[in-house]
């Protein structure tokens, strides 16, 4: 079994889910007391959030790329970045390492394509919804990506930063998210991507009438599959 290096802690609420899902998949595959071989770099998210707010993506890239290299040097056979938004600096991370980097948008796009869907809604932080680093990656798989209009984008973003990363799950926010998803469906979205790893704490597949793509689960399961694949 390969060793997975996790760049996580953005926020730790979702990092815990990554660890849980990966370990569950390994136990299901191997049986008994088997669990995943993980090396984890967890962050003070307030420091990362400050880099985002300052638009200091070069600083964020140096931080994550350096830590990815250290995970490799510590024995990681592949690197997983446990956050959608910080895939903004994925190219810098990949350039810093010699082991595979499992891109979250690729794992998500594969699931969308497998479901036979061509037009998909995307929820996430403002960075993920508005910038091309994530939408463009999905588009490279032949997908048409629809994001919320304003003021829905602000609602989605604010719930993530004001509530979900702080461990707050509010039924009023869930209702607001479901309304946003409904409007995306009206614009042609056949499914919706929970493009922030904390969104799955609020909304799940049983809550919506379109196909729901939980990026945390999809990415974590892909990581477990990669770790379990023959060397």
Question: Rounded to the nearest 5°, which phi and psi values hold at 79?
Answer: -120, 135
Mean per-residue pLDDT for 60-66?
97
Query: 116 and 195: one domain?
Result: yes
**DSSP for residue 188:** T
Percentage of the chain surpassing pLDDT 70? 100
15 pLDDT band (50/70/90 cuts)?
confident
Overall domain count for the chain:
2
Query: 45 and 98: one domain?
Result: yes
Q: What is the pLDDT of residue 162?
A: 95
CATH number of the CATH domain containing 113: 3.40.50.1860
Q: Helices 104-114 and 132-139: crossing angle, nearest 10°?
A: 40
Is residue 59 within 8 Å of residue 86, measured between CB atoms? no
Mean per-residue pLDDT for 200-222?
95
Query: 99 and 133: one domain?
Result: no
Query: 184 and 132: one domain?
Result: yes
User: Greater confidence, 197 or 24?
Assistant: 24
Mean per-residue pLDDT for 197-210?
93
231 pLDDT band (50/70/90 cuts)?
confident
Question: 41 lies in which domain range?
Answer: 4-103+218-228
Query: 111 and 98: one domain?
Result: no
83 carries an active-site annotation: yes
9 pLDDT band (50/70/90 cuts)?
confident
Task: Given the residues 82, 83, 197, 215, select the one marked as catalytic.
Answer: 83
196 carries an active-site annotation: yes
Query: 20 and 99: one domain?
Result: yes
Query: 205 and 117: one domain?
Result: yes
Query: 110 and 173: one domain?
Result: yes
Is residue 193 within 8 Å of residue 123, measured between CB atoms? yes
Query: 131 and 157: one domain?
Result: yes
Query: 91 and 131: one domain?
Result: no
Q: Is the pLDDT of residue 66 over 90?
A: yes
Give the residue among 181, 95, 101, 90 at the shortest CA–CA distance from 127. 90
Mean per-residue pLDDT for 50-69?
96
Query: 96 and 73: one domain?
Result: yes
Mean per-residue pLDDT for 10-25?
91
Task: Given the residues 196, 197, 215, 216, select the one marked as catalytic.
Answer: 196
pTM (2 d.p.): 0.91
Distance of CA 123 to the CA centre of its chain: 11
What does the pLDDT look like over 97-139, one tens digit per residue?
999 999 999 999 999 999 999 999 999 999 999 999 999 999 9
Residues 220, 20: Cα–Cα separation, whole Å: 9
Q: What is the pLDDT of residue 150?
A: 97
**3-state SS, residue 114:** helix
User: What is the DSSP secondary-structure string of 17-68?
Assistant: HHHHHHHHHHHHHH-TT----EEEE---HHHHHHHHHTT-HHHHHHHHHHHH
């Amino acid at each position: 079994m390969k060793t997975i290096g996790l760049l996580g802690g953005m926020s730790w609420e979702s990092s815990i889910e990554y660890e849980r899902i990966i370990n569950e998949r390994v136990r299901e595959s191997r049986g008994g007391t088997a669990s995943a071989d993980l090396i984890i770099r967890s962050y003070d998210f307030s420091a990362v959030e400050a880099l985002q707010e300052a638009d200091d993506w070069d600083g964020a890239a140096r931080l994550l790329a350096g830590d990815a290299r250290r995970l490799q040097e510590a024995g990681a056979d592949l690197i997983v970045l446990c956050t959608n938004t910080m895939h903004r600096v994925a190219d810098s991370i990949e350039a810093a390492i010699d082991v595979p980097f499992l891109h979250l948008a690729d794992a998500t796009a594969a699931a969308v394509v497998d479901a036979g869907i061509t037009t998909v809604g995307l929820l996430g932080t403002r960075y993920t919804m508005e910038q091309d680093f994530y939408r463009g990656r999905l588009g490279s798989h032949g997908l048409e990506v629809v994001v919320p209009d304003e003021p829905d984008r602000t609602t989605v973003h604010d719930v993530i930063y004001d509530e979900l990363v702080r461990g707050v799950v509010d039924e009023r926010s869930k209702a607001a998210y479901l309304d946003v998803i409904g409007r995306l469906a009206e614009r042609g979205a056949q499914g919706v991507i929970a493009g922030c790893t904390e969104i799955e704490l609020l909304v799940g597949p049983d809550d919506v009438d379109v196909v729901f793509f939980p990026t945390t689960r999809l990415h974590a399961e892909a990581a477990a599959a990669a770790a379990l694949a023959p060397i």
